[in-house]
Amino acid sequence: MDAFKRVPVQEQSPDERIKNFDEVCLGYSEDEAILEAQRCLQCKNAPCVKGCPVEVKIPEFISLIRERKFKEGYFKILETNLLPAICGRVCPQETQCEQNCVRGIKGEPIAIGKLERFVADWFRQNCEFEFELPEPNNRKVAIIGSGPAGLSCASGLAKLGYKVTVFEAFHKLGGVLYYGIPEFRLPKEVVEWEIENLKKMGVEFRINMVFGKTFDLNDLKDEDFEAVFISSGAGLPSFLNIEGELLNGIYSANEFLTRINLMKAYKFPEYDTPIKLGKKVGVIGGGNVAMDAARVARRLGAEVYILYRRTEAEMPARKEEIMHAKEEGIEIIELVSPVRFIGDENGHVKALELVKMQLTEPDKSGRCGVKPIEGSNFVFEADNFIVAIGQSPNPLVKKAIPELELNPNGSIKVDQNLMTNIEGVFAGGDIVTGAATVILAMAMGKKAAQSIDNYLKMKNKERK
């Protein structure tokens, strides 16, 4: 075995996988995981750990894998990361834990994410989740939104004996993990398993509850909730605000992915939600959302082009997913920026006018800017376009709590304990950071659980 190279992980071949929605990466077998774990140098100062936003005890869990103590490995990760099966799959490891791995200096870094996922999957397949309920303290906390921030806050509080209720606007739980990230990257079964465990821990879930519409802070007070954690995510899709954006055939990535993931439109008419996609599709953007939308479109049989303002090197999407997209035959057109959509006589889009861009000198942060090349406009024809240029916090929450202080970009302002300007109301995840990552959202949920516990204990003392 070459100690500088990773143990390769089994994947569905590109030809095969573009015909289904099954998971692309099949994960390590026990023996493969052990082989990969053996490459770890068990560094004393473990720089990998510093790259992880929640400081997973990486050398420790890897060492347990070597000893075939997979269950113990799982619990080792769980000490700091509530959702290893999910983070192992979707974390941007290449810029976090794995970027710091000493093995990466001369060879390939340890596949930390893949190992993390391995132990979590192994546990899910071989063990029952058991949980000793703590002494209940009969104090109620409400959580708004069931994405990773909400789920981890719920878990943290349930472990401390709180009575937790999670309120979710949709009819399915998991937030972006359910309706955003597609099945072929994160099977819904994994998300559902985590939620079942939370239920076993006594967490109550109420679906179809829209904060600001179905209920508000006063209703929560009436139900004796003593603290609230707002984790409603960054759900508002940005549009380009250019001519022709109302033409038929132009989807926001949110709409496209919601139809597919939440509503299973790819199974229409077995499922009732329709989706229409022509032969050629242009996806605008360069982040994870754009990659997911493009790869879904590919699986629906389209020829797919990603249209991006900068170059591939600047794309914010995970490298692994850019590679997967390219393997699947998706073409990236760099350095182009949308000018206007062009429609046919029926009000359906038929093309997008683009202008070519050029990189400018790097700024102080080292990132290159772009500017349009005058007169370089050209027309790119396609049957559909998917706009994936970002999303911002949904204003529903603010409308429901007018006195809530926001940052200039519309995200909720919090102090170092994640409390908002309203006493007892905390916030975390994308609604605070703007669109970020699963692991950051999870870390904030965990921190909020701690802050809420401190806050309620103090409140108790004051009362006495």
Partner 1 sequence: MNEIVIKKNLAPDVWLMGIFSPQVAKKAKPGQFVILRVVEKGERIPLTIADFDREKGIVYIIFQVVGKTTAILATLNEKDSIEDFVGPLGMPYEHNPDDKSYLFIAGGLGIPAIFSKVKMLYSEGKKIDIIIGGRSKENIFFEDELKKYCDNLYISTNDGSYGKKGFVTDVLKDLLESGKRYDEVFAVGPILMMKAVVDITRQYNIKTLVSLNPIMVDGTGMCGGCRVLVGNEVKFACVDGPIFNGFDVDFESLIKRNSYYQDIEKEAFEKHKCKIGLGD
Ligand X SMILES: Cc1cc2nc3c(=O)[nH]c(=O)nc-3n(C[C@H](O)[C@H](O)[C@H](O)COP(=O)(O)OP(=O)(O)OC[C@H]3O[C@@H](n4cnc5c(N)ncnc54)[C@H](O)[C@@H]3O)c2cc1C
- The contact set with ligand SF4 (CB under 6 A) reads 40-43, 46-48, 52, 54, 56, 58-59, 81, 87-88, 91, 93, 96-97, 101-103, 110, 112-113, 116, 439
CB of 150 to partner 1, least distance (A): 16
Cβ of 115: how many Cβ atoms within 10 Å?
Answer: 27
Q: Which amino acid is at 132?
A: E
Residue 299 touches which of ligand X, ligand SF4, partner 1, none (Cβ within 5-8 Å per kind): none
Which residues from 312-351 bind partner 1, rule CB under 8 A?
346-347
**DSSP 3-state percent helix, strand, coil across the chain (nearest 5):** 40, 20, 45
Find how far residue 189's CA is from the centre of its chain.
16
Pull the structure tokens for residue 50.
């510093």
CB of 126 to partner 1, least distance (A): 30
> Helix, strand, or coil here: 310?
coil
Residue 231 touches which of ligand X, ligand SF4, partner 1, none (Cβ within 5-8 Å per kind): ligand X
Q: Which is nearer to ligand X, 25 or 351 (CB)?
A: 25
Residue 47 touches which of partner 1, ligand X, ligand SF4, none (Cβ within 5-8 Å per kind): ligand SF4
Q: Among residues 239, 362, 379, 381, which is the contact residue for partner 1, using CB under 8 A?
A: 239
Residue 78 touches which of partner 1, ligand SF4, ligand X, none (Cβ within 5-8 Å per kind): none
Q: Which is nearer to partner 1, 168 or 453 (CB)?
A: 168
Q: Is position 394 an interface residue for ligand X (rule: CB under 6 A)?
A: yes
> Helix, strand, or coil here: 252?
strand
CA distance linking residue 325 with residue 89, whole number of Å:
16
Q: Which amino acid is at 438?
A: V
Q: Among residues 58, 169, 386, 456, which is the contact residue for ligand X, using CB under 6 A?
A: 169
Cβ of 374: how many Cβ atoms within 10 Å?
Answer: 8
Q: Is position 149 an interface residue for ligand X (rule: CB under 6 A)?
A: yes
Residue whose structure tokens are 């102090």: 415
User: Looking at residue 107, what DSSP letter applies?
Assistant: S
Residues that bind partner 1 (CB under 8 A): 169-171, 207-210, 213-215, 235-237, 239, 241, 245-249, 251-252, 254-255, 258-259, 263-264, 268-274, 276, 346-347, 394-396
